[in-house]
């Protein structure tokens, strides 16, 4: 990186490409300010908006995803399975599951072959909450599609996943195949 000129222009060579790019301090500041604005006003608001159906039912979005995982597993999932799939520690998932147990949204049942292992199952109330929140999230996505097509939604998800895989995820070997709009259309055919 070489500084030149009194206006704090910088010459920058991005080693991931063969192109030469020139960035000015103003461009860096513009990017920083836009990213900061997106973080403070976009990502946080999007997270809150997406979590709203869960919070309206008195649970967090993380708690909803636990209920969802249990519903999808049909009684064959353990605490450790959920911790692993959510990428968190056993103690972190234990706290969330503890809250759901106290709310009577799920219960634990010992496995037949090893009574020390317990599988998680939804209570009727937990199944109702999971279904209502899931239905509201799907409906919200359908409303979004009126202004933001499914193809654009997948493009956005793929771009964010690519960024996460490259810069955020600790284990790049766990990258998954990205579902595209074309994949969805093929599956529907």
**pLDDT tens across the length of the chain (189 residues):** 333 334 444 444 455 544 445 567 788 888 888 888 888 888 888 888 889 999 999 999 999 999 999 999 976 898 889 999 888 888 999 999 999 999 999 998 887 777 677 889 999 999 999 999 999 999 988 988 899 888 998 898 898 888 888 887 765 445 455 555 555 555 565
According to DSSP, the β-strands at 118-122 and 106-110 are: antiparallel
Q: How many CB atoms lie within 10 A of CB 160?
A: 11
Contact 79, 90 (CB under 8 A): yes
Using CB atoms within 10 A of its CB, is residue 97 exposed (0-12), middle (13-18) or buried (19+)? buried
Contact 34, 19 (CB under 8 A): no
Q: Which residues contact 136 (CB under 8 A, 6 or more apart)?
A: 53, 56
- pLDDT at position 183 is 59
According to DSSP, the β-strands at 118-122 and 77-78 are: antiparallel
């Amino acid at each position: 990186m070489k500084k030149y000129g009194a206006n704090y222009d910088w010459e920058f060579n991005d080693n991931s490409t063969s192109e030469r790019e020139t960035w000015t301090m103003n461009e860096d500041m513009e990017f920083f300010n836009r990213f900061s604005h997106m973080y403070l006003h976009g990502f946080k608001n999007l997270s809150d908006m997406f979590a709203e159906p869960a919070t309206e039912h008195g649970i967090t979005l993380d708690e909803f995803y636990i209920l969802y995982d249990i519903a999808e597993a049909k009684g064959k999932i353990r605490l450790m399975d959920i911790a692993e799939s959510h990428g968190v520690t056993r103690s972190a998932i234990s706290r969330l599951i503890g809250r759901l147990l106290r709310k009577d949204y799920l219960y634990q049942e010992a496995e037949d072959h090893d009574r020390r292992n317990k599988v998680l199952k939804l209570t009727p109330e937990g199944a109702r909450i999971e279904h209502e929140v899931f239905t509201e999230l799907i409906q919200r996505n359908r409303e979004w599609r009126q202004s933001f097509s499914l193809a654009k939604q997948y493009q956005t998800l793929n771009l964010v996943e690519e960024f996460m895989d490259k810069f955020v995820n600790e284990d790049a070997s766990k990258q998954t195949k990205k579902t595209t709009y074309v994949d969805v259309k093929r599956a529907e055919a």
